[in-house]
Amino acid sequence: MKLHEYQSKRFFAKYGIPIPKGRVAANAEEAKHIAQELGDRVVIKAQVLVGGRGKAGGIRLAKSPEEAEELAAQILSMKIKELPVRKVLIDEAASIDKEIYLGITNDRSARKPVMMASSAGGVEIEDVARDAPEKIVKVYIDPLLGLRDYQARDIAAGIDLPRDHWRIFGQIANGLWQAYRESDATLAEINPLVITSEDQLLAVDGKMVLDDNALFRHPDLAEMRDLDVEDPSEIEARKYGLVFIKLDGDIGCMVNGAGLAMTTMDIIKLFGGSPANFLDIGGGASAEKVTAALRIILTDPNVKTVLFNIFGGITRGDEVARGILAAMNEVQTRMPMVIRLVGTNAEEGRQILSDADMITAETLTDAAKKAIAVTKGDYVQ
């Protein structure tokens, strides 16, 4: 789950990171009031969950409350990378001398969080990594020891930060680490962290990505989720405890177990097909879950076939088969289905399904090939 800039910066502020004064507005009039309150030059910033807002015209400076009102109206009518702008942040404008990048993410191969910094801030870090990788300084953080003071100093030295800023930079780096650790984030980023013309460090932009699987530990953060920007089918899936990720292929996948779901997608690809989704309906395959999952899969207009890959362990194959039939009956669809069923009572299950005129398969290879053939329109019984 991604947090908006204003949410990220407010969260950072709790950890002692300096941020500009400001508030969010949902309309131009509010924006004008906030600009009046702030009194000085302000910056109007589109709150959408994508990078590069600046380039897209979603960040503008205003010299008066009237100009703030006008620019806010403009920005609120924009779409940035397909996302409608519903809120703008009005911040006191900073006069910027220098832009720095500072961020933390997980380095999976090092199995540790890594803090990265660069004197080439403002631009996206992926671009710096490609064009000038020598400008990125990295330190790995031992999760048990936390970020050490000397590591923060190493970073400050590595990006040639003037020495009089080192102490406050150390506090910001440590605050960012604490914010990252305590929220179970997978990314916490300040880009840019600026040196103002008054020689202060200030976090002008903020971005956080939280680990969805740890959100249950952070109800206050989970509440900030912006449903406007999520795929409706993914929101629906979450309601039923299904793990669903929409993809752009044409074979819908109904699978119990995350590993099995990944394998199913790989096999479809291997034989030249393209999965329409990742879906883990969890253990067993109750009629209720299968029904909910089937509805979600069928809302995708690209889907031409649904491939079931169900491993019956504790749940017996014949029960699964009856569950599938009940679900189809309820959803009322003519979508072709290919079903691979293995495990306890699999044979009985397959019999029930083929009696109901469904395409069944014994092996995953067989199932994938049949699903691809059906999708291409050249399946022969």
Q: Would you name the residues annotated as active-site residues?
A: 101, 189
x/- map, 174-203, ligand GDP, by CB under 6 A: -----------------xx-----------
The two tokens of residue 376 are 């291409």
User: If contact means CB under 5 to 8 A according to the sort of partner, which of Mn ion, ligand GDP, none does residue 99 touch?
Assistant: ligand GDP
30 neighbors 76 (Cβ within 8 angstroms) = no
Q: Does residue 18 interact with ligand GDP by CB under 6 A? A: no
State in angstroms the smallest separation of the CB of 89 from ligand GDP: 9
| Residue nearer to ligand GDP on the CB measure, 69 or 91 | 91
Interface pick for Mn ion out of 191, 256, 264, 360 (rule CB under 5 A): 191
Q: Which of 180, 205, 181, 214 is nearest to 1 (CA)?
A: 214
CA atoms within 13 A on the CB side of 290: 25
332 neighbors 338 (Cβ within 8 angstroms) = no
252 neighbors 298 (Cβ within 8 angstroms) = yes
User: If contact means CB under 5 to 8 A according to the sort of partner, which of ligand GDP, Mn ion, none does residue 349 touch?
Assistant: none
State in angstroms the smallest separation of the CB of 241 from ligand GDP: 34
Q: Does residue 155 interact with ligand GDP by CB under 6 A? A: no
The two tokens of residue 231 are 């795929």
The residue written with tokens 């394998």 in the block is 263
State in angstroms the smallest separation of the CB of 97 from ligand GDP: 10
| Residue nearer to ligand GDP on the CB measure, 95 or 332 | 95
Count the residues of the shown chain that bind Mn ion, applying the rule CB under 5 A.
Answer: 2
**Rounded Cα–Cα distance for residues 371 and 338 (Å):** 6
User: If contact means CB under 5 to 8 A according to the sort of partner, which of Mn ion, ligand GDP, none does residue 93 touch?
Assistant: ligand GDP
378 CB-near residues (< 8 Å, 6+ apart):
none
3-state secondary structure of 126: helix
**Rounded Cα–Cα distance for residues 90 and 44 (Å):** 5
Which residues ranging from 76 to 135 are in contact with ligand GDP (CB under 6 A)?
91, 93-96, 99, 122
Give the residues lining the site for Mn ion (CB under 5 A).
191, 205
